[in-house]
Amino acid sequence: MGEAAWRVVVRDGVTKLSVRNVAAEAGIAAGSLRYLFPTQEALRAYVLDLVRQRVTDRISGMSTQQPLRRAVEEYFSQLLPLDTERRVEMEVFLSVGVLALTDPALRPAYERAHHDLREGCRQMLALLATDPDYSALDPDSETARTHAFIDGLALHLLRQPLDESTTWATDELARHLDSLR
Amino acid sequence: MGEAAWRVVVRDGVTKLSVRNVAAEAGIAAGSLRYLFPTQEALRAYVLDLVRQRVTDRISGMSTQQPLRRAVEEYFSQLLPLDTERRVEMEVFLSVGVLALTDPALRPAYERAHHDLREGCRQMLALLATDPDYSALDPDSETARTHAFIDGLALHLLRQPLDESTTWATDELARHLDSLR
DNA sequence: CCGTTTCTAATACGACTGTGCTACGAAGTT
DNA sequence: AACTTCGTAGCACAGTCGTATTAGAAACGG
């Protein structure tokens, strides 16, 4: 059900995220969808929180049996729209997220996602700091900057079509992690 | 005229950016506004490009009679939503900018803004590299990362109300510039 | 088997949307 | 003077929007 809403957003844009369009995309009657989401705001909030949920689920399912630096690099990669799945998530999150600027009902979902991401960054930096190479790294004081860098990188990746090369982004990520050493 | 459109976006969100709402905000008839912007897409494109124009105008009007490092720091500050004016610009740009993900008619305006910002970052880093302290800085290889960092920082600043302190952001900016040394 | 809850569907209403069309006054040009 | 262009305004059309209401099917516990 949420995926149908995602498809609408990605294909037609946030402005077309309506009860009717989502219902049509999901193949059910509009009146039926309103049983699940009585108001449009409920629909938007659900869509937004579904992204957060998906991202955290995918991340928590990652294996960390790798060299430390490599594991951290892969973790941060999971926050970038490098394949279709993450691209869709990012587009939806950004599109609906900007609505949270003016719609207080969406703030909690957006804030929670932001908070989860920040904590994830902090934890990964803390993990990285256990590497002898990174003994000079102070995770707490580096979290905000790395978080901003990751989000900005994700933003810039959305500019380009999915089939174009994204090695520049992973290169920048690697360079950033190098600079923390 | 464009300011009326901005007010609508900032107050009511991008979904309320309609010919009628903007006309009402500007105090003219809807039919009259359509003389200037025959279609909704023209309106959106204008709003988006107006932001770019304003930002570049404000930047090009900056005085650079300061210590090098300080001047560069202030330049990057101008790209962050630290006061009402820049905040409005950023909100509008982001709100309408996400529409460019699905609306090809908006791509040129968005791309141009992105390009201008990147070039601005590059030039400022090049200027910074003339400082003896920054002799090891390679502007070209650092542009993308700094650009991503700035945009991410701007994104995160939009989260908080305007009256809250923004020193953390300028601190992060200073720290980033320090790390380039 | 019946009743109750859970879900799906259809329809209707009023508000808002983009946009086409026409018209009217002011300003400027020939 | 007549005429054209420019800016504003108003109305109408068809479409979409969110949402309330009503009703029927399906699942389930008694």
Contact, A162 vs A87, CB < 8 A? yes
> What was the pLDDT predicted at A175?
96
In CATH, what class is A40-179? mainly alpha
> What was the pLDDT predicted at A60?
85
> What was the pLDDT predicted at A62?
82
Q: How far is the C-alpha of B162 from the C-alpha of B31, rounded, in Å?
A: 35
Torsion-angle region of A36 (φ positive above 0: left; ψ -120 to 50: alpha; else: beta): alpha
Find how far residue A58's CA is from the centre of its chain.
Answer: 11
Give the residue among B53, B45, B176 at the shortest CA–CA distance from B121.
B176
Question: Is strand D less than 7 A from the beta carbon of B28?
Answer: yes
pLDDT digits (tens, 9 = 90+) for B80-129: 999 999 999 999 999 999 999 999 999 999 999 999 999 999 999 999 99
> What was the pLDDT predicted at A31?
86
Choices 3.40.50.800, 1.10.3720.10, 1.10.357.10, 2.60.40.10: CATH for B41-179: 1.10.357.10
Q: How far is the C-alpha of A68 from the C-alpha of A134, rounded, in Å?
A: 11
> What was the pLDDT predicted at A1?
81
Q: How far is the C-alpha of B76 from the C-alpha of B177, rounded, in Å?
A: 10
Residue of B nearest to A170 (CA): B145
Radius of gyration of chain A (CA): 18
Question: Is strand D less than 7 A from the beta carbon of A53?
Answer: no
What positions of strand C are covered by protein, i.e. any atom < 7 Å from a CB?
7-11, 16-22
The total of other beta-carbon atoms located within 10 Å of residue A81's CB is 24
- Collect all residues of chain A within an 8 Å Cβ-Cβ radius of residue B175: 141, 145
Question: Is strand C less than 7 A from the beta carbon of B34?
Answer: yes
pLDDT tens for chain A, 181 residues long, are 888 999 999 999 999 999 999 999 999 989 899 999 989 999 999 999 999 999 999 988 887 778 899 999 999 999 999 999 999 999 999 999 999 999 999 999 999 999 999 999 999 999 999 999 999 999 999 999 999 999 999 999 999 999 999 999 999 999 999 999 8
Among B6, B16, B91, B155, the strongest candidate for a mutation testing the A interface, having the largest count of A CBs within 10 A, is B155
Q: Residue B76: which pLDDT band, with cuts at 50, 70 and 90?
A: very high
Q: Does the structure show a pLDDT above 80 at B160?
A: yes
- Collect all residues of chain B within an 8 Å Cβ-Cβ radius of residue A139: none
> What was the pLDDT predicted at B152?
98
Q: Provide the 8-state DSSP code for B102.
A: T
DSSP labels for A76-120?
Answer: HHTTS--SHHHHHHHHHHHHHHGGGGT-GGGHHHHHHHHHHHHHH
**Helices B107-129 and B68-77: angle between axes, nearest 10 degrees:** 160
Q: How far is the C-alpha of B181 from the C-alpha of B166, rounded, in Å?
A: 24
Residue of B nearest to A142 (CA): B172
Q: How far is the C-alpha of A13 from the C-alpha of A115, rounded, in Å?
A: 26
- Collect all residues of chain A within an 8 Å Cβ-Cβ radius of residue B155: 148, 151-152, 155
Size of interface A-B (CB pairs under 8 A): 97
For chain B, the average pLDDT equals: 94
> What was the pLDDT predicted at A66?
83
Describe chain A by its helix, strand, coil percentages, rounded to 5.
Answer: 75, 0, 25
Contact, B79 vs B117, CB < 8 A? yes
**CA of B11 vs chain A CAs: smallest distance (Å):** 7
**CA of B112 vs chain A CAs: smallest distance (Å):** 12
> What was the pLDDT predicted at B153?
98
**CA of B107 vs chain A CAs: smallest distance (Å):** 9
> A18-56: b or e for each residue (b if 16 or more CB lie within 10 Å)?
ebebbbebbeeeeeebbeebeebeebbbbbbbbbbbbbe
Give the residue among B103, B108, B115, B99 at the shortest CA–CA distance from B9.
B99
Give the residue among B156, B179, B104, B136 at the shortest CA–CA distance from A118.
B156
Question: Is strand D less than 7 A from the beta carbon of B32?
Answer: yes
pLDDT digits (tens, 9 = 90+) for B25-66: 999 999 899 999 999 999 999 999 999 999 999 988 887 778
Residue of B nearest to A14 (CA): B99
> What was the pLDDT predicted at B2?
83
Q: How far is the C-alpha of B22 from the C-alpha of A156, rounded, in Å?
A: 30
Q: Do B148 and A155 touch (CB under 8 A)?
A: yes
Residue whose structure tokens are 């960054």: A121
A32 CA → C6 C1’, Å? 12
Dihedral angle, C-alpha B58, B60, B61, B66, nearest 10 °: 110
B41 CA → D3 C1’, Å? 34
